[in-house]
Amino acid sequence: MAITLGLTGSIGTGKSTTCQLFEEHGAMIWSADAAVHRLYAPGGKAVLEIAKIAPAAIVEDHVSRPLLARELRADKTLLPKLEALVHPLVAEDRAEAIKVAAAWILVLEIPLLFEKKLDQDLDVTACTWVDAETQKTRVLERPGMTKEHFEFILKHHWPQDKKRAAANYEINTTSPQTARDDIERIVEAIKP
């Protein structure tokens, strides 16, 4: 059975890059965001249910993430409804990944790992981090990202310091080398 490592971190702190670096050490990666993309795609399990609570977010049989983000900002009651629909489906996808993991370690990239108490059944946790200015720069360089949406996301996540304090390990993603060094220390500490 694979070691399960929950990887978290605020938006723009290098979780995707960190996953790629873990792959260099033989890790299998599961991403909550990728699972959501599958659920929102044409034919995805969440599309019909989201159409009932946010019909304006549906375009050509899929969920438009930018339109859904707009709906979430406009209607403060929508987020809990959306989470009640999507989180169980993501949990099913995650459980299946754990069941079939064939690598020595399964890295589960979960932005809301601690907020949703998803760390409790995992073997170990790690948190990516970077200084606030670098984080802001990275996020605002993303296509379609606005300062308002960035602030909306931050408001619904734990602050970086709180995530770092809750994690077993921290991964400084200021540069590829700092991240690589931290990951190598983690692998050395937990690899059987």
Query: Residue 111, class by beta-carbon neighbours within 10 Å (0-12 exposed, 13-18 middle, 19+ buried)?
Result: buried
Q: Is 31 helix (H, G, I), strand (E, B) or coil?
A: strand
Which of the residues in the chain have pLDDT under 70?
Answer: none
Dihedral sign for Cα 173, 179, 185, 187, please: positive
Q: For the chain, what are the domain ranges? A: 3-183
- C-beta pairs of 53-59 under 8 Å, 24+ apart in sequence: 53/78, 53/81, 53/82, 53/85, 54/78, 54/82
The residues with which 58 forms a beta bridge, in sequence order, are 63
Report residue 149 as tokens: 């949406």
User: Which residue has 């296509």 as its token pair?
Assistant: 143
Say what the pLDDT of residue 156 is: 83
Say what the pLDDT of residue 155 is: 87
120: phi then psi, degrees, rounded to nearest 5: -65, -30
What CATH number does domain 3-183 carry, 3.40.605.10, 3.40.190.10, 3.40.50.300, 3.90.1150.10?
A: 3.40.50.300
- C-beta pairs of 65-68 under 8 Å, 24+ apart in sequence: 65/40, 66/144
Q: Give the Cα separation of 23 and 28 in Å (integer).
A: 6
Closest to 107 (Cα-Cα) out of 117, 118, 98: 98
Say what the pLDDT of residue 32 is: 95
Say what the pLDDT of residue 71 is: 94
